[in-house]
């Protein structure tokens, strides 16, 4: 227990800077805005801040398209502001982890400008340039080097007329993929990372880092995906945890992290990662990354048509998924735990019913698992999805390009498009942070870049700070529990009630210490026979509760009664 890494007891808070706090009234959040709010983070008790990108960027994908890795975009401030923020966080005992976006750069990065300039430029093969498919007019339909579809709709290839070749972009055409096969690319990335660590930052959240190794054939070609002619195919099998991914991450660790103090944190964002791969990525003996973000639980409500074809969550699917990740990483490796981030609709609108009780129930469920919890700005208030009422209000490139694609395919029913975006768009999580009930929720004195949710009248930080029963104070208690209670950080995990569609229950055990966690994931009252909760519930009494949010638990010797959205953590007596 004593030699477990510090991050097994830590909670990370994600800041999406454009939506957090605006200091200068231009409607977009900035670094000095964050500086004004550091006490909110200290009061919540988080150990680490993960800051989404603030680097120089054309903002095609809100900063995930970087044109200078070693400068701050003027819309967010300056490097001096960032140094000041780092010092202010460190003064409160909070670490700062930066976003690392190196699967791709912006097309306006000097590396890509050089690469694009001519076929003989020394940086030409820092990116993936390929000739058109033979026999078809270059730039025309079907002439792309492979048939892969992009994460943001359309093909992953864009034709560049002046040099007569296509370049690869898994995301937007303004986010060309770097060629990690090239040692000079890797060295340039590692040098940049060392520069940031030398500046005093405490680690990296690595954007889509499991997509950097592409399954290139010895002759330099990339394989087609299986699919019908004329329809874009799924290219993910050819770059998800690709052939050299472990080699690249081990090399990065050697070149960047080895020999540095163990205060650092690395977390790899990994769409499509499996438990078996995650064991390899997070095995400390392999020295790759500390933990990964997996995506299985945030795909459980995707329908056959993908994320914009949502279906209701089945609680048993969530149990099967989380249960598999908990047991898979029990012996080797480590989990990260998250509901919300800047790419996901808000959990209270998605798996909850937007009530404060549902926010607290879902928070308790997640935070009592084994792993490092991540809290996304506003989640600690129970902030809801955006409820935008018109397609014109959306700003997210993924949403806009999906709408354009649907319309091009003749699907012009705006009501249907709006309903899909209202459920799943990334903008749901990007509305401004709700600080108070004043104009624009205290986020800005100007016009916010994305509308403030009108429910800031009731859901806001100022009101919740003053209310000990608020969602905010519940998150504060969950974070404190992880700090103070070794069984929360390190105890074994056992899932209970695996077939129950309404109640989520599990135990955590460390030596003789046992916690029993029971969560009613519905808006109806429920009751659970104590016998179904196993040995941990044998002598259960209401006063064994260590965390509640709806009053004293209802235990009668035979059953545990659960109020709507009630979550209780008991310690075995």
Q: Name the residues that contact ligand ISL, by CB under 6 A.
A: 61, 64, 101, 151, 171, 207-208, 269, 271, 307, 342-343, 398, 426
Answer yes or no: are the C-beta atoms of 57 and 106 closer than 8 Å: yes
The one catalytic residue in 207, 288, 380, 396 is 207
Minimum distance from residue 307 beta carbon to ligand ISL (Å): 5
Minimum distance from residue 477 beta carbon to ligand ISL (Å): 29
Three-state DSSP at 491 gives: coil
Distance CA 42, CA 276 (A): 36
Minimum distance from residue 253 beta carbon to ligand ISL (Å): 21
Pairing of strands 503-510, 513-520: antiparallel
Instruction: Please identify, using beta-carbon distances, which residue of 5 and 225 lies nearer to ligand ISL.
Output: 225
Rg (CA), the chain: 24
Give 338-341 contacts, CB < 8 A, sequence gap 24+: 338/293, 338/366, 338/373, 338/374, 338/376, 339/363, 339/366, 339/376, 339/379, 340/375, 340/376, 340/378, 340/379, 340/429, 341/14, 341/374, 341/376, 341/429
Tell me how far the alpha carbon of residue 548 is from its chain's centroid: 27
Three-state DSSP at 102 gives: coil
Distance CA 174, CA 158 (A): 10
Minimum distance from residue 342 beta carbon to ligand ISL (Å): 6
Instruction: Please identify, using beta-carbon distances, which residue of 146 and 294 lies nearer to ligand ISL.
Output: 294
Q: Concatenated DSSP letters for 458-488?
A: TS-HHHHHT-TTSHHHHHHHHHHHHHH-HHH
Minimum distance from residue 533 beta carbon to ligand ISL (Å): 36
Q: Residue 233 carries which DSSP code?
A: B
Answer yes or no: are the C-beta atoms of 491 and 370 closer than 8 Å: yes
Instruction: Please identify, using beta-carbon distances, which residue of 208 and 568 lies nearer to ligand ISL.
Output: 208
Q: Is 269 one of the annotated active-site residues of the chain?
A: yes
**Phi, psi (degrees; rounded to nearest 5) at 52:** -60, 165
Minimum distance from residue 402 beta carbon to ligand ISL (Å): 9
Answer yes or no: are the C-beta atoms of 23 and 68 closer than 8 Å: no
Answer yes or no: are the C-beta atoms of 427 and 394 closer than 8 Å: yes
- Short-list 517, 14, 16, CA closest to 267: 14
The CA-CA-CA angle for residues 495, 496, 502, to 5°, reads 110
Q: Is 207 one of the annotated active-site residues of the chain?
A: yes
- Residues facing 68 on adjacent strands: 56
- Short-list 60, 76, 73, CA closest to 24: 76
Residue whose C-beta lies closest to ligand ISL: 64
- Residues facing 515 on adjacent strands: 508, 571
Instruction: Please identify, using beta-carbon distances, which residue of 315 and 347 lies nearer to ligand ISL.
Output: 347
Distance CA 376, CA 41 (A): 12
Distance CA 470, CA 360 (A): 9
What tokens were used for 482?
């992880």
Minimum distance from residue 63 beta carbon to ligand ISL (Å): 9
The one catalytic residue in 269, 343, 398, 485 is 269
Minimum distance from residue 347 beta carbon to ligand ISL (Å): 15
Minimum distance from residue 109 beta carbon to ligand ISL (Å): 13
Answer yes or no: are the C-beta atoms of 388 and 357 closer than 8 Å: no
- Residues facing 166 on adjacent strands: 130, 159
Three-state DSSP at 279 gives: helix
Pairing of strands 336-338, 372-376: parallel
Minimum distance from residue 364 beta carbon to ligand ISL (Å): 26
Catalogue the active-site residues: 207, 269
């Amino acid at each position: 227990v004593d030699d477990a890494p510090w991050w097994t007891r830590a909670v990370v808070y994600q800041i999406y800077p454009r939506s957090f706090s605006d200091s200068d009234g231009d409607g977009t959040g900035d670094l000095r805005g964050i500086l004004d709010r550091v006490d909110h983070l200290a009061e919540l008790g988080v150990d680490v801040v993960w800051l989404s990108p603030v680097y120089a960027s054309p903002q095609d994908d809100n900063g995930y398209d970087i044109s200078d890795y070693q400068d701050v975009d003027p819309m967010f401030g300056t490097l001096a502001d960032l140094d000041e923020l780092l010092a202010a966080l460190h003064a409160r005992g909070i670490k700062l982890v930066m976003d690392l976006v190196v699967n791709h750069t912006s097309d306006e990065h000097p590396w890509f400008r050089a690469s694009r300039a001519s076929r003989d430029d020394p940086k030409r093969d820092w990116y993936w340039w390929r000739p058109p498919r033979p026999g078809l007019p270059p730039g025309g339909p079907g002439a792309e080097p492979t048939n892969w579809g992009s994460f943001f709709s359309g093909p992953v290839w864009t034709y560049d007329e002046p040099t007569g070749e296509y370049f690869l972009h898994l995301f937007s055409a303004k986010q060309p993929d770097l060629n990690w096969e090239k040692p000079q690319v890797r060295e340039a990335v590692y040098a940049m990372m060392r520069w940031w660590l030398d500046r005093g930052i405490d680690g990296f959240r690595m954007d889509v880092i499991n997509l950097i190794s592409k399954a290139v054939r010895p002759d330099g070609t990339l394989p087609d995906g299986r699919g019908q002619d004329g329809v874009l195919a799924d290219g993910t099998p050819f770059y998800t945890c690709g052939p050299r991914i472990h080699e690249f991450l081990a090399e990065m660790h050697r070149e960047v992290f080895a020999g540095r103090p163990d205060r650092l944190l690395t977390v790899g964002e990994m769409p499509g990662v499996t438990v078996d791969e995650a064991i390899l990525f997070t095995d400390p003996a392999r020295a790759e990354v500390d933990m990964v973000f997996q995506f299985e639980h945030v795909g459980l409500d995707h329908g056959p048509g993908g994320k914009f074809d949502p279906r209701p969550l089945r609680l048993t699917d969530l149990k099967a998924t989380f249960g598999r990740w908990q047991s898979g990483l029990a012996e080797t490796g480590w989990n990260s735990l998250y509901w919300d981030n800047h790419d996901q609709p808000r959990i209270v609108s998605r798996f909850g019913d937007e009530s404060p009780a549902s926010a607290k129930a879902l928070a308790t469920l997640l935070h009592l698992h084994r792993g490092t919890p991540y809290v996304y700005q506003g989640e600690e208030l129970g902030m809801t999805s955006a409820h935008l009422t018109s397609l014109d209000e959306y700003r997210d490139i993924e949403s806009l390009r999906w709408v354009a694609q649907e319309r091009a395919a003749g699907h012009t029913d705006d009501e249907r498009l709006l309903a899909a975006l209202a459920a799943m768009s990334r903008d749901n999580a990007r509305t401004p942070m709700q600080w108070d009930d004043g104009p624009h929720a205290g986020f800005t004195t100007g016009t916010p870049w994305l509308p403030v949710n009108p429910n800031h009248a009731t859901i806001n930080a100022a009101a919740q700070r003053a209310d000990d029963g608020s969602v905010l104070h519940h998150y504060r208690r969950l974070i404190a529990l992880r700090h103070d209670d070794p069984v929360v950080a390190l105890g074994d995990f056992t899932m209970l009630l695996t077939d129950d569609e309404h109640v989520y229950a599990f135990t955590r055990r460390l030596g003789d210490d046992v916690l029993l966690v029971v969560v009613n994931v519905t808006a109806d009252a429920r009751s659970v026979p104590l016998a179904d909760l196993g040995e941990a519930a044998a002598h259960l009494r209401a006063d064994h509760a260590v965390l509640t949010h709806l009053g004293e638990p209802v235990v009668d010797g035979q059953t545990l009664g659960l109020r709507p959205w009630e979550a209780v953590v008991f310690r075995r007596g």
